[in-house]
Amino acid sequence: MKRSKIAGIGSYLPERIVTNEELTKVMDTTDEWIQERTGIQTRRYGVKHKETTSSMGAKAARVACERAGISPNDIDFIIFATLSPDYYFPGCGVLMQRELGITGKEAGALDIRNQCSGFVYGLSIADQFVKTGMYKNVLVVGSEMHSMGLDFSTRGRNVTVIFGDGAGAVVVQPTDDPDQGILTTKLHSDGTYAEKLSFVNPGAHGGYHQERIGDTTDLGYPPADTYGEIFITQKMKDEGMLYPNMEGQFVFKLAIQKFPEVIQEALKEAGLQTTDINMLIPHQANLRISQMVQRLLGLRDDQVWNNIQRYGNTTAASVPIALCEAWEAGKIQKGDLVCLAAFGSGFTWGSALIRW
Ligand code: UT7
């Protein structure tokens, strides 16, 4: 079986820089609180109604294709990871396909709804497709336009201050070089605590899961024999239930356990150790999480790339954006061992080891 490699990488960050100070004007928060708890100083927001998750993904994808030396029309398969899709359906994969002008060859497109681990999952799927010879040019994109769906009142401050917009993309191709490519990927999930970090409304659940987990919140659904208002109820609109929510400390504690676990798992399978890692690209969830993971693994500062200070948490886009930035900065050289790792809502988590 062939190996697969990352042949090209690109990213796109919208121009508008939003400081913590700016957020203090709309909600009860402070620059000090945000920096101390998360490390975030600024984040980017896309231009409302002019940019979307798929349009930003297309911009990152164009750069990745160019660097891989191909045209978007050479892409055989698209994998698009996001939690902030343009539409409920169809997915961003086909919208980006249209935006990129990929026509005529009917390339396949798959959307991944795996939140923070979406890109690592997508890379793993691309790896399987390329290794087995099914596809030659797989485009994997992570993109988020969070700013369109956040609660900018004080009620949503624990979530809203964290997130930012942006996109990253890679082209995955086969390689004959035995010393290069994706060595292994590890993927995991556990749905027990699905609602601890979630965006449940609007949805077609009708309160089903809430009843099972003992959540007695009245979502305002009409009687079961009435149709209409199945996705969004008036109560949800009136009481601000149409936003993401997170039990931050619960997520934090699990994250610092699962990140090191899944990194060690990949290293063990590849017969490698933490000392072999040249660059760890952790999902940029919170700078405090990355620092703790670094400490737990005994890594030096130069072995870990963090950019959450400037871009906030861009969920599915954070790993490819950070990977692209580290590579552009010349911190990833041919032959280096690069480790990607992510943890987030679901909960889902995963890692990838790449010999660059
Ligand atoms: O990317 C997906 C995975 N996500 C994560 O991994 C995120 C994991 N969790 C976290 O990063 C942290 O839990 C947060 C940054 C979200 C929150 O930090 P925390 O230190 O866990 O704060 P907390 O939620 O325990 O809240 C502490 C206090 C509360 O006030 P009281 O009840 O002590 O009076 C909050 O209301 O901080 C308050 N608070 C804020 N204050 C100012 C929450 N958000 C804010 C805010 N500004 N933005």
Each residue's pLDDT tens digit, 193-230: 999 999 999 998 989 999 999 999 999 888 877 776 67
pLDDT band at 94 (very low <50, low <70, confident <90, very high): very high
Task: Output b/e per residue, 214-245; b: 16+ Cβ within 10 A.
Answer: eeeeebbeeeeeeeeeeeebeebeeeebbbbb
CA distance 174 to 131: 7
218 Cα–ligand 1 center, Å:
25
Predicted confidence at residue 105, as pLDDT, reads 77
Predicted confidence at residue 230, as pLDDT, reads 74
State whether the beta carbon of 114 lies less than 6 angstroms from ligand 1.
no
pLDDT band at 104 (very low <50, low <70, confident <90, very high): confident
Active-site annotation holds for 286: no
Q: How many CB atoms lie within 10 A of CB 208?
A: 9
Active-site annotation holds for 313: yes
Helices (H) and strands (E) in the chain, counts: 12, 13
Average of pLDDT values for 58-63? 98
Of the residues 20, 92, 114, 116, only one is catalytic, namely 116
State whether the beta carbon of 340 lies less than 6 angstroms from ligand 1.
no
pLDDT band at 120 (very low <50, low <70, confident <90, very high): very high
CA distance 163 to 156: 11
Spatial CA neighbour of 213 closest among 199, 233, 193: 193
User: pLDDT digits over 27-50, tens only?
Assistant: 999 999 999 999 999 999 999 999
19 Cα–ligand 1 center, Å:
18
Q: Is 25 exposed, middle or buried (0-12, 13-18, 19+ CB in 10 A)?
A: exposed
User: Which structural domains are found in the chain, ordered by start?
Assistant: 3-175 (3.40.47.10)
- pTM of this structure: 0.97
Of the residues 20, 283, 306, 324, only one is catalytic, namely 283
Query: How far is residue 96 CA from its own chain's centroid?
Result: 17
* Candidate from 37-51, 233-247, 307-321 with smallest mean pLDDT: 233-247
State whether the beta carbon of 199 lies less than 6 angstroms from ligand 1.
no
Whether the pLDDT of residue 1 is over 90: the answer is no
Phi and psi dihedrals of 37, rounded to 5? Answer: -85, -25
Phi and psi dihedrals of 25, rounded to 5? Answer: -80, -20
Predicted confidence at residue 156, as pLDDT, reads 96
Whether the pLDDT of residue 278 is over 80: the answer is yes
CA distance 176 to 156: 50
State whether the beta carbon of 318 lies less than 6 angstroms from ligand 1.
no
Report the mean per-residue pLDDT for the chain. 96
Average of pLDDT values for 308-324? 98
15 Cα–ligand 1 center, Å:
27
Active-site annotation holds for 114: no
Closest residue to atom 14 of ligand 1, CA basis = 248
Unique residue bearing structure tokens 């899961």: 209
Average of pLDDT values for 108-133? 97
